[in-house]
Structure 1
Amino acid sequence: MNASSHPSVFSQRVSGILLHPTSFPGRFGIGDLRSEAYRFIDFLADSDQHLWQILPLGPTSFGNSPYMSYSAMAGNPLLISLDLLHGEGLLSDADLAHIPDFPLDHVDFDRVAATKFPLLQQACRNFATSASAERRDAFQQFQQEKADWLEDYALFMALKRKFNGQSWHTWEPGLAKRDKATLQQFRSELAEEIFFEEFLQFEFFRQWSDLKHYANSKGIQIIGDIPIYVAHDSADVWANPDNFCLDSETGEPALMAGTPPDYFSETGQLWGNPVYNWDYLQQSDFQWWIQRFEAMLDYVDLIRIDHFIGFESFWAIPQGETNAVNGSWIKAPGKQFFEVLKQKLGSLPILAEDLGTVTPEVEALRDHFEFPGMKVLHFAFGGDARNPYLPFNYDKRNCVVYTGTHDNNTTVAWYETLPDHERDRLLDYLGCISSDGIHWDMIRLAFGSIANLAIIPLQDILGLGSNARMNFPGRLEGNWGWRYRSEALNDETCGRLKHITQVFGRSRPRSEAEPESD
C-alpha cells in the first residue's frame, strides 16, 4: 500500500481519542470488533473527533503487553468478535449459551483466553467443514497476500503450543536454526494447528478491515503504534535472525536494548529485546522494515513510532548484563531508512514518540522528515517557565499534544498526587479549577494549544481515577486491563467534548473529512 493514499491530517487542526480495543465493553470479558467498537466510532464522529489512536494490535505474550508481541505483523485473536462468528454461522446459539460472567471494569486475560480459544477452535472446525466456496476463496486469497509473514507466524505459534510455550531458541536445533527439512516435517505434522492460526488471522483482519472502513467513512483516521523493537521470543526474530544481533550459537540476544542510567534510574533500563543488525538491514535495502510498515498501513492510516530516538542512535547492552549500566551508544541509519521508506511508500504518515532525553541529532532527524513530535501536559509543570511541555513554549504547530499517554496515570489521579509546588504552578497557570473538574481544564489546555493534533485518553474525558490507569511502566503484571462501561459514552459527555472541540477550532465540516480508504 502506498502511504500517499492516506491524506495527511498533520497540517490540520484536529483532535481525537486514545483508546485500545481491549477496553471496549462487551459480554466476553474483553473488547472486540463488533457493536461497541462501532458505537465508539459513532461517538468520535458525533463529538467532532477525527482521530482514533490505538496501541499495537499484535498477539500478546506474558504480561499481556501490546508492546511485547509474538508478531509485529499479526493481529490479536482475542479481539475477534464471537458474535460476528455466530452471525456467519460458524458458532451456534448453544456454543454461546454458557458464557461466564466477566468483570465489567477490567480484563481477566487468563479467563478470557480460556473461554474464547475453545470457541475460536470450534468456529475454525465449522469453517473447515462448511464454509462457502466464496469464503474459502477469500481465505486462500488472504493466505497468498500475507504469505510473507503468515506462514512463518502460523508455524511459530503452532510450535509454541507444541512445546508448551518454550522460547524458540530452546527448541531442538533443527527448528531453532530453521533447517528446511525439519521445518517441512513439522509443517506436515502440525498442519491442523497451522490452519487454525491462519484462520484466526483471516477472521481478525476481515473484522478489523470492516471496522476501519466504517471509521474512514465517518471521517475518522486510525493512528496505529509501531514499537521500534520486537520481542526476542517472536516469529519476527525466529524467522529473520539475520536482522538482529543474536548469539550465533545460542540464539540469545548478543546485544540487548534499553536506556542508559539517568535521573530516574541509576542503573538505566534493560529491556532485553535484541537490537537490530542495521548493517545487514541496510544491505537488504531495509526490506523487513519496509514490509513491516506496509503491513501496518493495511490496517491503520497513520503510524506512531514508539521510541523514535532509536532510529538515530540506540543504547546496546552486552549479553549477560543484569542492568543497563555497561551499555554503549551505537548510531543507526535512520535518515537512510526513512529516505528508502519514502521512496517505497510516498508520503510518510508518521508521528514520532520523542519523549525523554532528545538530542539535537534526534530533533534534526524528526524535523528533516517533518514528523510531528509529542507534547505531554503531565510533564509541563515540573521545573520552570522554560519547560518545553508548557504550551507557550511550543515552537511549531506540527506536533501532537496529549494530557497523558498510556504510560501515565489518569489526569484526575495525576493531579491528586502532584507535589505541592507543581500543583501550585498548575493552578497559577490555569487561574483556577473550573466546576467541570481538572480533567476538562487539562483538555481545554491541550485543545487550546497551537499543536495541530490533540489526543486525549478516554479515561481523561470520563474523569476517571487511578483504577483506570492502563499501564504502570516497570510493573510486569496487572497492566493493560482497563475497560469502560457502555453507559459512559452518553449524550452529555459527547456534547461537552463536541463543544470544546468547536470552541478551539478543532472540528471541521464532515464534507471535508478524509475519503474512505480502499
Structure 2
Amino acid sequence: MSNLCKRREKSMNKRASGVLMHVSSLPGAYGIGCFGKEAKEFIDFLSDTGCTYWQVLPFTPTDAYNSPYASISAFAGNRNFIDLEQLRDEGLLTDDELREQMYANPYSAAFDFLELRRIPVLYRAFTRADEAYRDKVRAFAEENKSWLPDYALYIILKEANIGAEWYDWADEDLKLHRPEAVAKAMEEQAETVLFMEFIQYTFFEQWKKIKKYANSKGVEIIGDLPMYVARNSADVWANRHLFDLTEDGEPKNVAGVPPDYFSEFGQKWGNPLYNWAEMKKDGYRWWMDRLGACFKLFDAVRIDHFRAFSAYWAVPAEAETAKEGQWLDGPKTDFFDAVNRTFKNPKIIAEDLGIIDDGVIDLLEKTQLPCMRVMQFAFMEGKDNMHMPHNYPKNCVAYTGTHDNNTVLGWLWEAQPYEREHALKYCAFPGGDWAVGGSESASCHAVIRTLWQSPANTVIVPVQDLCGFGKDTKMNVPGVPNGNWAFRVTQEQLDGIDKKWLKELNDVYYRNK
C-alpha cells in the first residue's frame, strides 16, 4: 500500500456528517448567497448540530446557463460571491451603492440582475482602492501567475471580441496565445488586467476568512472539481498543448460517455480531452496547480467523473453522436503518485457513479480513495445494489441525493409505487402521510436517519432534505440546460430546521464532530 493510501486511511476513518448547499443558495439581500454574515451563520448551524462538513459546488465562474460545471476558468472565483458589505466596511463602497444592489426575491438567484449590476459596482470599489491595496493585488497576481494574468487578459479580449470564443477571434496571434502578442496586450490593458486581478484577490481573501472561521468551529469544507474544462476557457486558450487539439486549436476528440440503458446514442459533452502524454512530461504540473488551488480553498475535494483517470470515452470531434467513441487509457496510478509527491495528506473523494468497470474498481482499491453512494439509487434493484445503505463500505461518502438528484420528498412522490413502498419500509417509516413535507417531514426524517445509521464514514444531506422541500427546489436537472442552479433558502427556512433532532442524530450514531 502506498504512503498516500496509508495517510488517507488515517484522515478519513472518522464517522462524520455534513450538509450540501452551494454558496449561491445562502440567504442574503443581494440576489445571491455570498461570503457574508449568512455564511458564518450557516457554519454556526453546522457546528451547533454536530456536523463536520459543509459541501459546496465548484466556485468557478458560471457559464451562460449559470452552471458552475462549465466554467471559463478552472482556477478563478465567481465574482458574485464577493460580499459587498465587506467592501463597504473597507471604505470602498457606500450604503447607497449597496442599496442599488439589493434584490427583492429571496427564493431564487438573480443571475440576469447580477450580470448587469455586479461588474460596475466592483469597478467602483476598485477605483477607490489605494496604492497599498493595489500592491496587495499585484502580490496576489504574482503568487498566482500560472493562471491569473492569462485569465484576466482572456476576459478582456473576449469582451473586446464582442463575446466571441477565443478560437473565433480575428487576431491570429492573440487567438493562438503567441507570447509577443500576449505581452503587448497585457501592457496595453494593464489597468483593466489589474481590475480583473482585484476581483480575484477580493474573492480569495474573503473566502479565506470564511474558511478560517469554519475551521475554528470544527467545520471542514468539501469542494467540487469538474473533471474536464470547457473549450472556451482561459485554460485551454493559454495551454493548448495540454489538450487533444490541433495546432490551430481545433479539437480532435471530445469528452462524453458511451450508450447505456438510458441513452441509445450516449452523451457527447464536447469538452476537449487532456493530452495525458504531454501532461506526464512535467509531472502533471497543470493538474497539480489546479489541485493545489483547490486545497487552499477546501479541506477536501470531490473529483467529478473520477472514472476518466482509469479510462475515458473519446468521441471524434466530427462525430454526430457519442456512439462513435472509444475507450482510451487514462493516467491511472501514475497520476496519483504525482499527487502523493506533491501534497501532504490530500483528502480526495472519488465520484464513481455511472459506468464502473474493473479498471475503475482497481484504481479505487489502489488509491484507497473514498467512493460515493446515493440512497435514491438504492431501491431499483435487488438486495446487492451497492447503493443500499447496508452495503456501503466504511470508506465512502453517502448522500440522500446530490445536486443532480431530486429532493427526498420529490423522489418519493415520483418513484414507482413498489419502489416507494420498499424505501419507506426499509427506512422504518413510522406511518402516517409520507407525502407531507416541511422540516418535520416524517418520511424525510426516516430516510435521513437510515443514511446516518449506515456504515459509511461520511454522510451528506442536501439542505433541501433537511427542510423537507419538494422537487421544485432541485438544484439541477441533468440534460435540461435552462432553469437550473437558482435555488436559494431563506433565513427563516434555515431557522425552521429541527436542530435538536439533527444534533441528536449525530450524537446517537456517533457522527458528532
Establish whether residue 284 from structure 1 lines up as the match of residue 286 from structure 2. no
Compared CA separation, residues 290 and 46, structure 1 to 2 (3 A): same
Aligned with residue 342 of structure 2, among 344, 352, 358? 344
Q: TM-score, normalised by structure 2?
A: 0.94
Aligned with residue 498 of structure 1, among 494, 500, 503? 503
Establish whether residue 87 from structure 1 lines up as the match of residue 89 from structure 2. yes
Match of 1:374, as an amino acid? M
1:245-394 residue pairs with structure 2 within 5 A?
Answer: 245-249=244-248, 251-394=249-392
1:91-490 residue pairs with structure 2 within 5 A?
Answer: 91-127=93-129, 131=130, 133=132, 135-171=133-169, 172-249=171-248, 251-394=249-392, 396-433=393-430, 436-490=441-495
Match of 1:334, as an amino acid? K
Distance 2:426 2:281 in 1: 52
Match of 2:490, as an amino acid? R
Aligned to 2:15: 13
Compared CA separation, residues 292 and 237, structure 1 to 2 (3 A): same
Shift of 1:458: 0.5
8 Å contact from structure 2 (residues 467, 497) kept in 1:
no
Question: What CA deviation, in whole Å up to 9, does each residue of 1:418-452 have, x standing for no partner?
Answer: 01121122133124345642211111011000000
Distance 1:7 1:384 in 2: 30
| Number of aligned positions between the proteins | 500
**Unaligned stretches of 5+ residues in structure 1:** 509-518
8 Å contact from structure 1 (residues 8, 349) kept in 2:
no
Question: What CA deviation, in whole Å up to 9, does each residue of 1:153-177 have, x standing for no partner?
Answer: 1111111121122111111211111
8 Å contact from structure 1 (residues 102, 108) kept in 2:
no
Aligned with residue 50 of structure 1, among 49, 52, 70? 52
**Unaligned stretches of 5+ residues in structure 2:** 433-440
8 Å contact from structure 2 (residues 428, 446) kept in 1:
no
Shift of 1:189: 2.6
Match of 1:415, as an amino acid? L
| DSSP-derived class of the 1:329 partner | strand
Shift of 1:181: 2.2
Shift of 1:492: 5.3
8 Å contact from structure 1 (residues 259, 324) kept in 2:
yes
Aligned to 1:512: none
Question: What CA deviation, in whole Å up to 9, does each residue of 1:301-345 have, x standing for no partner?
Answer: 111010000000000001112321100000011210101110111
Distance 1:147 1:465 in 2: 45
Compared CA separation, residues 47 and 264, structure 1 to 2 (3 A): same
8 Å contact from structure 2 (residues 466, 497) kept in 1:
no
Distance 1:10 1:225 in 2: 17
Shift of 1:491: 6.6
Distance 1:227 1:216 in 2: 24
Q: TM-score, normalised by structure 1?
A: 0.94
Match of 2:227, as an amino acid? I
Distance 1:300 1:387 in 2: 32
Distance 1:5 1:384 in 2: 35
8 Å contact from structure 1 (residues 17, 456) kept in 2:
yes
8 Å contact from structure 1 (residues 44, 50) kept in 2:
yes
| DSSP-derived class of the 2:324 partner | coil
Establish whether residue 41 from structure 1 lines up as the match of residue 40 from structure 2. no
Distance 2:14 2:429 in 1: 30
Aligned to 2:438: none
Distance 2:177 2:398 in 1: 45
Match of 2:181, as an amino acid? T
Percent identical across equivalent pairs?
40
Aligned to 2:435: none
Establish whether residue 70 from structure 1 lines up as the match of residue 69 from structure 2. no
Match of 1:177, as an amino acid? L
Compared CA separation, residues 433 and 189, structure 1 to 2 (3 A): farther
| DSSP-derived class of the 2:30 partner | coil
